[in-house]
Amino acid sequence: MDFELSEDQRAFQHSARDFAANELAPHAAGWDEHGTFPKDTIRAAGELGFCGLYSPEQWGGLGLPRLDAAIVFEELAAADPSTAAFITIHNMATWMLTMNARDEVAAHWGPLLTSGEKLASYCLTEPGAGSDAGSLRTTARLDGAEYVLNGSKAFISGAGETDVLVVMARTGGAGASGISAFAVPGDTPGITYGRKEQKMGWNSQPTRGITFENARIPAGNLLGNEGDGFKIAMKGLDGGRINIATCSVGAAQGALNAAQRYMHERKQFGKSLAQFQALQFKLADMATELVAARQMVRLAASKLDSAAPDTNVYCAMAKRLATDLCFNVINEALQIHGGYGYIREYPLERLLRDARVHQILEGTNEVMRVIISRRMLEEDALDRIR
């Protein structure tokens, strides 16, 4: 078991770190304040391959392992968790489309999405179907050579600004087996977008509801086969949970870096904060928890890369642990900054606001505990979760 990064992984890490320092960090506070969706910057990330990190090379992606993608996302999130998180969502939706679409659909959308020229949204959540995604009510009815979509989606990242929607809709009976997945152009007649939500964080990406009213798409835009939608969505979410966990790790690393600098710069009672043992111990705990979270995320990513049978459990563990621990690390970094941490001149309050939602989306951490506990109560759990 080798915990060291390879030369290629370090090259991706340094490339992402440079991009974050030059293209994200100088603008992140302004994007947050003004609610700016930085499409041009995301396209620039696409020029480096960051918009199709693990999508197939056949359709323009880099075809990287999820572990390598996690390394890139962490570096981006250290500067701007909000924009980095949208890039991860775009990667997830792009992977779902390119892995499951018919060749003509993948050939059209794949190169556009993996390059960042066009952007994608993931559409699963509904007003009445959040954690219970299997109860979604949006329908897709086959009418000749077209599917007709009716229903609504909620809390969709990028909605109204993205070019294609990966939509889960019901083509069959009740439950998960009746759900199918579709690639839906964002400008399809019959689609309307709700108001831009005013959020605590994630302000560099728009969030809106979507309504489908007799929106017609070609039957060939079905991803996989009818009834495959829930399976496709869950496979996407395994990777999505790693992605969001990684964004928490990155945000915590950015906060820890800021706290280290501040402890050397700030003086109280005639000495720097770095000389107070209570704060030294706080920093030690923060670093330890951050490293533990990072290694849990990378373990889950390696499970996903090897298609291990217990992948979903490890992805749930990583998402639960990293988003909880790393939020605490950011909160402690803010505390070290005192009153300065609470004002917008410093990045701490933005990192805190952006990271808070990570404990909710891609499955709440309460749902992660359900997934883990169910596996632990199976008869052979002690032999397999080791």
Instruction: Point out the residues that are catalytic.
Output: 362
Percent helix, percent strand, percent coil in the chain, to nearest 5: 55, 15, 30
CA dist., res. 39 & res. 376, Å (int) = 43
Stated length of the chain: 386
Q: Which amino acid is at 178?
A: G
Q: How far apart are the first and last CA of the chain?
A: 15
Strands 164-170 and 191-193: unpaired
74 to 140, 266, 293: CA distances (angstroms): 37, 28, 12
Pull the structure tokens for residue 112. Answer: 């556009």
Tell how many helices (H) and how many strands (E) occur in the chain. Answer: 12, 10
CB 290 within 8 A of CB 329: yes
Q: What DSSP line would sit under 5-53, residue for residue?
A: PPHHHHHHHHHHHHHIIIIITTTHHHHHHHT---HHHHHHHHHTTTTSS
Rounded CA separation 153/130 (Å): 10
Q: What is the DSSP string of 275-338?
A: G-HHHHHHHHHHHHHHHHHHHHHHHHHHHHHTT-TTHHHHHHHHHHHHHHHHHHHHHHHHHHHG
Per the listing, tokens 């990287």 go with 64
Give the DSSP H/E element, type plus range, for residue 123: strand 120-123
